[in-house]
């Protein structure tokens, strides 16, 4: 309804404007000054309406504005015809109504300025002063906007022409400043008119008008004469005075942004304290972070764009000024939510990182200020603030791409303390990911310690925190990060490295049952790597006191892995023990190796009950044991005996069989002459064959028909025989092999074994080896046999 | 001019010409019938000289008891119609009684005439100067001919010309202080001033400055006062806030003003007032009236 009326009134006004404009044009065409003035005044009277919304009023204004262009040209011509411009200037002021009078005055004033037969600044002064008469906010705003518009293109030339005439220059400046001030006052005043119910609507309307005000600042920035000195001494203080004093949220917010965007970077830099000094004085509801962030972003870009600018930043101590200002703002705005203040610090931090990337102390200071601020609010609970903090803490990470640098920031962990568990963990993930992504090496134990302190959200559960909803996959992923991380903790110096390992261990062991299986392996392997290095280097260069002896480290590992068995991950523990044993073996520490084996065996006996797991475990044990060189005969016998025993006690026969023939390897070490016990090898194989026989019988009995299992077992055995034959085990005789082959052949004849391809390739291999030159064919001569007859 | 002769058949044509008629400035003057005519302009102490020409119609003779020319300064009150009061009356006898047969010209001169009052054309009163030629005849009534003059007198620049400054207000509602740069303005002057708003608690629509003329005629119980608003000049649009000052600049030239006349011959006075009017949103008017003195400044010195 109201909108309809609005539309109607606008239409009526438009018609009237059109009509009067027509008459005005006609008067102009016939050079009738009097009528031209009369009709233009009538046309302008339409702008006196109070009925239109700002939006519609703007439409009307634009229409009139276009018509006034013709009038301006006419005035210009009129002065050419001998009518003095001073007379015209007076003549238009005879109009009875203020608004048309002032529009006409501005129009003729702009002509007057151009004609240059008068002191321009007097006219400017007069115009801006006379415009005071319109106190109605909307109409005044548009009138002054018109004034700014018609004088705009004339101002810069004035300033440049008046070069050297400082006074006049100042006057032109004064003109714009004053017009700006007055416009802003009017603009602000709009807010306080009408009922409070329509507050929002008014704000919207005002927002539509804001560019009218802002344009003045733009004009100011375009004035040629405005150098840094003038800007600092006159322009900025005047603008800020107005901004601060108007006490209007919308205006302050918009104008601060305008100032920042409109004037050159260098000016901002040189007047930082003034500009920043204004910030705490703004209304508490002003979104100051947007303002400051805009400024800091601009200056950051400025710093980034030109290298010459950087010394200026230092010279004006931009950082400390910002830091101080933000502190003040936070202090002044009591109601500022935590998220807000954190955002402010975030922007400051970004700025600092951009501009002073080499000044870690500054970065730390920002963090410190943030801590001080947070200490007042306590732990952060709201999401927004937490998000901001994460961004805040991530900023230096992203900048330096190096956690080691971050570790130097003493306040970094202090900030993290204010995070809730969830966020802390998220932050920890970010930190760890950063390390992984950038492949950062953290190379001292102290740093590692500090680092784990940062990442503790990932490393351990928080006291009293019960997270039921942890997604298992996510959890694993996270812990994988930790595991990968361990490998980035690295130092070439073994001494330091061992310290690192001690530190890592200390932290990782706090992880609790869910984390340990995922993290300990990484630690173990990292340690093993060190051991290998130690062994490769000089024999214990540090003396016995050093922590970096393989023995000590192994001892440590033993304890570490033990933690795993407590958390029901025996498979893993077993593997790790074996790994350690291997390392110990390489270091020729017999007792230690033995110890590890013992532990592995104990685990096997006590914890591993699943038969599949047993098979795997056993294989691992056998494999590892086979490689052990450090044992004396006695120890080795005990261990091999045990292993063979385990093999025979597996649940399923085929598994037994396989395990047993694997055990054969325990008696045969290729490169070690005193570990070639051909007899026991054959014994083992025979025993395996017996088990295979048993399997064969059992399957025949149970099904009466075919079974692939046992034939396959035979073929496998055959392969084992061939292997040892090749290795030169003299106890492996052609007869044994032949009889086994015979057996296989008869079995395959009986039933479809399903193992043909295996058999065939074995045969082909035999054939191939036989035709080889050298010793191999000799060995194979013994087992010449007719297969297919 | 012949209509004055009424039904009588005109016997002759009487005309008055000024000796410096061609050079003398003429100003427009509104006549009773509403038309404007150009009338020669004189100032006090001017010498009024010229010729009266009597031109009998063909074949006629004019018998007369004498011809004279008078310079009359008259004040005419409209509510007392027909009653002229002559405050100046100068006579020149042009001819002794006799007969005129043909065109006859009489030069005349009133040297350095004192014309203290200005021509004035008001609502209730008129002050005029007129040259009156009378051809006196015995029986058929005298032949009369009039020539209007306009008299304007320049005043010197006033020695003392203080500004008008005043604070007015309604308690807890509106306090303003206004200032006009002078109290005495010449007719082509411009009024400059400022209105300061010290307290504003009402919503204003606009503020106007009016020029009002107060003409009072007669004396005592018979005094008639007539007030006209000659100019209505908008000064401000909308409501100002406290501390705002609104400029005043009013050019007087476009308005039909006269100098202030005080007690002209004890018959009438014409005074001018500036009336500052504030109109609030409910169309209530708040005003303050201040007298100003208007005077006529010699043209070439007034810009």
Each residue of A158-210: pLDDT tens digit? 555 555 556 666 777 888 889 999 999 999 888 887 677 778 888 888 888 88
Residue of B nearest to A101 (CA): B234
Please report residues of B whose CB lies closer than 8 A to that of A134: 236-238
Predicted local distance difference test score (pLDDT) of residue B6 = 46
The mean per-residue pLDDT over the stretch A210-224 comes to 86
Q: Please determine, for residue B193, whether its predicted confidence score (pLDDT) is greater than 80.
A: yes
**C-alpha span between A126 and B192 (Å, rounded):** 12
CB of A418 closer than 8 Å to CB of A379: yes
Among A160, A129, A172, A146, CA closest to A68: A146
Pairwise CB contact (< 8 Å): A134 & B247: no
Please report residues of B whose CB lies closer than 8 A to that of A98: 206, 234-237
B67 beta partners: B95, B135
**C-alpha span between A261 and A217 (Å, rounded):** 10
Predicted local distance difference test score (pLDDT) of residue B184 = 95
Among A52, A36, A251, A40, CA closest to A138: A52
Pairwise CB contact (< 8 Å): A101 & B234: yes
Query: A638: burial class by Cβ within 10 Å (0-12, 13-18, 19+)?
Result: middle
Pairwise CB contact (< 8 Å): A98 & B206: yes
Q: Give the least confident one: A476-490, A705-719, B154-168.
A: A705-719
Pairwise CB contact (< 8 Å): B239 & A94: no
Residues in A whose CB is inside 8 Å of some CB of B read 48, 90, 93-94, 96-99, 101, 129-130, 132-137, 139-140, 185, 189
Pairwise CB contact (< 8 Å): A132 & B238: no
Phi and psi (nearest 5°) for B225?
-115, 130
Predicted local distance difference test score (pLDDT) of residue A414 = 80
CA angle A74/A76/A78 to nearest 5° reads 70
Q: Please tell me which of the candidates A96, A136, A185 has its beta carbon nearest to residue B237.
A: A136
Predicted local distance difference test score (pLDDT) of residue A708 = 54
CB under 8 A, 24+ apart: contacts of A649-653: A650/A611, A650/A614, A650/A615, A650/A618, A651/A611, A651/A614, A652/A611, A653/A691, A653/A694, A653/A695, A653/A698
User: Which of A57, A95, A102, A135 is the best substitution to test chain B (most B C-beta atoms within 10 A)?
Assistant: A135
Please report residues of B whose CB lies closer than 8 A to that of A136: 237-239
Pairwise CB contact (< 8 Å): A93 & B237: no
Residues in B whose CB is inside 8 Å of some CB of A read 204, 206, 231-241, 244-247, 249, 251, 253-254
Among A332, A316, A233, CA closest to A273: A316
Residue of B nearest to A138 (CA): B238
CB of A236 closer than 8 Å to CB of A271: yes
Pairwise CB contact (< 8 Å): A97 & B245: no
Better-scored residue on pLDDT, A717 or B182: B182
Residue of B nearest to A98 (CA): B234
Pairwise CB contact (< 8 Å): A129 & B239: no
User: Which of B176, B201, B234, B248 is the best substitution to test chain A (most A C-beta atoms within 10 A)?
Assistant: B234
Pairwise CB contact (< 8 Å): A98 & B234: yes
Q: How far away is chain A from the Cα of B259, in angstroms, using its nearest Cα?
A: 20
- Element spanning A384, H or E: helix A383-400
How many CA atoms does the CB half-sphere of A435 hold within 13 Å? 29
A698 C-beta neighbours (distance < 10 Å), count: 14
Q: Give the least confident one: A249-253, A718-722, B262-266.
A: A718-722
The mean per-residue pLDDT over the stretch A116-134 comes to 83
Please report residues of B whose CB lies closer than 8 A to that of A101: 234
Provide, rounded to the nearest whole percent, the portion of chain A with pLDDT above 70: 89
The mean per-residue pLDDT over the stretch A475-490 comes to 80
Q: Please tell me which of the candidates A90, A99, A133 has its beta carbon nearest to residue B246.
A: A133
Highest mean predicted confidence (pLDDT) among A308-322, A611-625, B148-162: B148-162
CA angle A72/A75/A79 to nearest 5° reads 145
Q: Give the least confident one: A441-445, A540-544, A659-663, B77-81.
A: A540-544
**C-alpha span between A3 and A705 (Å, rounded):** 96
Please report residues of B whose CB lies closer than 8 A to that of A96: 231-234
Token pair for A377? 């609010």
CA distances from A82 to A71, A77, A352, A596, B171 (A): 17, 9, 65, 116, 53
Predicted local distance difference test score (pLDDT) of residue B303 = 37
- Strands B285-295 and B184-186 come out as parallel
Residue B265 DSSP one-character state: T
How many CA atoms does the CB half-sphere of A688 hold within 13 Å? 32
Phi and psi (nearest 5°) for A751?
-135, 165
Please report residues of A whose CB lies closer than 8 A to that of B206: 98
Q: Please tell me which of the candidates A48, A94, A133 has its beta carbon nearest to residue B235.
A: A133
Q: Please determine, for residue B166, whether its predicted confidence score (pLDDT) is greater than 90.
A: yes
Better-scored residue on pLDDT, B259 or A157: B259
CB of B55 closer than 8 Å to CB of B12: yes
Q: Please determine, for residue B158, whether its predicted confidence score (pLDDT) is greater than 70.
A: yes
Predicted local distance difference test score (pLDDT) of residue A1 = 46
- Strands B36-42 and B143-151 come out as parallel
Pairwise CB contact (< 8 Å): B237 & A139: yes
Predicted local distance difference test score (pLDDT) of residue A164 = 53
Q: Please tell me which of the candidates B233, B245, B254 has its beta carbon nearest to residue A132.
A: B245
Among A356, A288, A358, A285, CA closest to A318: A356
Predicted local distance difference test score (pLDDT) of residue A378 = 66
pLDDT bracket for residue B266 (50, 70, 90): confident
Predicted local distance difference test score (pLDDT) of residue B227 = 95
Predicted local distance difference test score (pLDDT) of residue B279 = 94
Pairwise CB contact (< 8 Å): B238 & A137: yes
Please report residues of A whose CB lies closer than 8 A to that of B229: none
Q: Please determine, for residue B2, whether its predicted confidence score (pLDDT) is greater than 80.
A: no
Q: Please tell me which of the candidates A90, A129, A136 has its beta carbon nearest to residue B251.
A: A90
Handedness of CA B18, B21, B23, B26 (dihedral sign): positive
**C-alpha span between B92 and B51 (Å, rounded):** 12
Q: Please tell me which of the candidates A90, A94, A98 has its beta carbon nearest to residue B237.
A: A98
Q: Please tell me which of the candidates B234, B237, B241 has its beta carbon nearest to residue A96.
A: B234
Predicted local distance difference test score (pLDDT) of residue A623 = 85
The mean per-residue pLDDT over the stretch A605-613 comes to 82
Q: How far away is chain A from the Cα of B248, in angstroms, using its nearest Cα?
A: 8
B33-69 tens-digit pLDDT: 778 888 999 998 989 999 999 988 877 788 888 899 9
Predicted local distance difference test score (pLDDT) of residue B42 = 92
Provide, rounded to the nearest whole percent, the portion of chain A with pLDDT above 90: 12
CB of A645 closer than 8 Å to CB of A680: no
Among B144, B133, B153, B130, CA closest to B32: B130
Please report residues of B whose CB lies closer than 8 A to that of A99: 234, 237
Q: How far away is chain B from the Cα of A42, in angstroms, using its nearest Cα?
A: 15
The mean per-residue pLDDT over the stretch A536-547 comes to 52
Q: Please determine, for residue A277, whether its predicted confidence score (pLDDT) is greater than 50.
A: yes
Predicted local distance difference test score (pLDDT) of residue A481 = 81
Q: Please tell me which of the candidates B232, B238, B245 has its beta carbon nearest to residue A134.
A: B238
pLDDT bracket for residue B12 (50, 70, 90): confident
């Amino acid at each position: 309804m109201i909108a309809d009326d609005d539309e109607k009134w606008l239409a009526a006004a438009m018609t009237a404007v059109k009509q009067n404009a027509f008459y005005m044009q006609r008067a102009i065409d016939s050079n009738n000054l009097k009528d031209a003035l009369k009709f233009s005044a009538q046309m302008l009277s339409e702008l006196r309406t109070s009925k239109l919304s700002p939006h519609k009023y703007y439409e009307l204004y634009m229409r009139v504005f276009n018509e006034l262009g013709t009038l301006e040209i006419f005035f210009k011509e009129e002065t050419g015809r001998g009518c003095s411009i001073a007379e015209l200037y007076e003549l238009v002021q005879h109009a009875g109504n203020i608004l048309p009078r002032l529009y006409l005055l501005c129009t003729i004033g702009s002509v007057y300025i151009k004609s240059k037969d008068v002191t321009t600044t007097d006219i400017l002064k007069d115009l801006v002063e006379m415009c005071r008469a319109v106190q109605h906010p909307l109409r005044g705003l548009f009138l002054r906007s018109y004034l700014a518009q018609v004088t705009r293109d004339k101002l810069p030339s004035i300033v440049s022409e008046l070069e050297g005439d400082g006074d006049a220059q100042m006057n032109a400046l004064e003109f714009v400043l004053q017009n700006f001030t007055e416009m802003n006052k009017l603009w602000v005043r709009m807010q306080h008119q009408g009922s409070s119910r329509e507050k929002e609507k008014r704000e919207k309307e005002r927002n539509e008008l804001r560019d009218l005000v802002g344009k003045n600042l733009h004009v100011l920035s375009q004035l040629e004469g405005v150098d840094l000195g003038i800007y600092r001494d006159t322009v900025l203080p005047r603008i800020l005075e107005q901004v601060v004093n108007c006490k209007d949220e919308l205006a302050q917010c918009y104008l601060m942004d305008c100032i920042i965007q409109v004037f050159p970077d260098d000016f901002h830099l040189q007047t930082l304290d003034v500009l920043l000094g204004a910030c705490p004085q703004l209304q508490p509801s002003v979104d100051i972070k947007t303002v400051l962030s805009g400024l800091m972003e601009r200056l950051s870009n400025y710093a980034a764009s030109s290298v010459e600018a950087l010394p200026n930043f230092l010279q004006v101590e931009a950082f400390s000024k910002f830091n101080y200002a933000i502190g003040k703002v936070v202090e002044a705005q009591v109601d500022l939510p935590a998220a807000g203040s954190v955002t402010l610090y975030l922007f400051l931090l970004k700025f600092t990182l951009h501009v002073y990337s080499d000044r870690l102390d500054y970065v730390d200071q920002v963090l410190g200020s943030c801590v001080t601020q947070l200490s007042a609010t306590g732990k952060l609970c709201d999401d927004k603030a937490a998000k901001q903090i994460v961004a805040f803490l991530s900023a230096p990470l992203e900048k330096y791409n190096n956690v080691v640098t971050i570790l130097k920031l003493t306040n970094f962990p202090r900030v993290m303390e204010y995070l809730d568990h969830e966020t802390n963990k998220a932050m920890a993930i970010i930190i760890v990911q950063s390390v992984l992504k950038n492949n950062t090496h953290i190379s001292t134990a102290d740093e590692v310690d500090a680092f784990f302190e940062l990442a503790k959200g990932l490393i351990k559960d928080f006291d009293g925190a019960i997270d039921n909803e942890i997604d298992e996959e996510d959890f694993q992923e996270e812990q994988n990060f930790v595991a990968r991380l361990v490998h980035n903790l690295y130092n070439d110096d073994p001494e330091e490295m061992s310290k690192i390992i001690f530190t890592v261990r200390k932290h990782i062991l706090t992880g609790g049952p869910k984390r340990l299986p995922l993290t300990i392996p990484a630690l173990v392997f990292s340690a093993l790597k060190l051991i290998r290095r130690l062994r490769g280097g000089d024999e214990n260069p540090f003396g016995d006191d050093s922590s970096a002896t393989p023995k000590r480290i192994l001892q440590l590992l033993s304890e570490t892995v033990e933690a795993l068995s407590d958390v029901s991950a025996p498979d893993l523990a077993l593997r790790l023990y074996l790994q350690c044993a291997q390392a110990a073996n390489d270091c020729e520490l017999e007792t230690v190796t033995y110890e590890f084996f013992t532990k592995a065996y104990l685990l096997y006996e006590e914890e591993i009950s699943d038969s599949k797991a047993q098979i795997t475990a056993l294989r691992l044990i056998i494999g590892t044991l086979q490689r052990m060189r450090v044992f004396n005969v006695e120890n080795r016998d005990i261990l091999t005996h045990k292993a063979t025993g385990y093999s025979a006690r597996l649940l399923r026969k085929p598994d037994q069989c396989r395990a047993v023939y694997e055990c054969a390897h325990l008696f045969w070490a290729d490169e070690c002459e005193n570990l070639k016990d051909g007899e026991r090898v054959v014994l083992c194989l025979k025993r395996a064959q017996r088990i295979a026989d048993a399997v064969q019988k059992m399957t025949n009995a149970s099904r009466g028909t075919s079974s692939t299992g046992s034939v396959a077992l035979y073929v496998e055995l055959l392969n084992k025989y061939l292997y040892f034959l090749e290795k030169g085990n003299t106890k492996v005789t052609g007869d044994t092999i032949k009889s086994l082959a015979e057996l296989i052949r008869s079995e395959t004849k009986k039933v479809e074994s399903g193992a043909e391809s295996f058999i065939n390739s074995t045969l082909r291999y035999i054939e191939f080896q036989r035709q080889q030159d050298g010793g191999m064919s000799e060995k194979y001569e013994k087992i010449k046999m007719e297969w297919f007859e | 001019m012949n209509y004055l002769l009424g039904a009588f058949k005109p016997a002759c044509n009487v005309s008055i010409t000024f000796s410096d008629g061609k050079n003398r400035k003429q100003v427009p003057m509104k006549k009773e019938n509403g038309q404007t005519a150009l009338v020669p302009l004189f100032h006090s102490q001017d010498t009024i000289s010229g010729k009266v020409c009597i031109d009998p119609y063909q074949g006629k003779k004019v018998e007369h008891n004498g011809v004279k020319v008078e310079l009359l300064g008259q004040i005419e009150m409209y509510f007392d119609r027909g009653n002229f009061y002559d405050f100046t009356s100068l006579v020149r006898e042009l001819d002794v009684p006799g007969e005129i047969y043909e065109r006859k010209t009489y030069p005349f001169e009133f040297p350095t005439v004192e014309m203290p009052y200005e021509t004035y054309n008001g609502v209730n009163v008129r002050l005029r100067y007129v040259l009156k030629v009378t051809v006196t005849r015995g029986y058929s009534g005298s032949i009369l001919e009039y020539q209007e003059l306009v008299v304007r007198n320049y005043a010197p620049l006033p020695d003392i010309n203080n500004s008008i400054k005043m604070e007015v207000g309604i308690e807890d509602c509106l306090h303003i202080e206004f200032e006009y740069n002078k109290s005495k303005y010449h007719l082509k002057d411009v009024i400059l001033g400022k209105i300061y708003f010290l307290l504003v608690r009402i919503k204003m629509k606009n503020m106007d400055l009016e020029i009002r003329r107060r003409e009072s005629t007669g004396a005592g119980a018979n005094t008639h006062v007539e007030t006209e608003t000659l100019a209505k000049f908008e000064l401000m649009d909308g409501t100002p806030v406290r501390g705002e000052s609104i400029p005043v600049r009013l050019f007087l030239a476009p308005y039909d003003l006269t100098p202030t006349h005080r007690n002209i011959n004890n018959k009438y006075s014409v005074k001018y007032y500036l009336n500052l009017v504030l109109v609030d949103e409910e169309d209530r008017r708040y005003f303050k009236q201040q007298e100003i003195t208007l005077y006529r400044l010699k043209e070439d010195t007034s810009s």
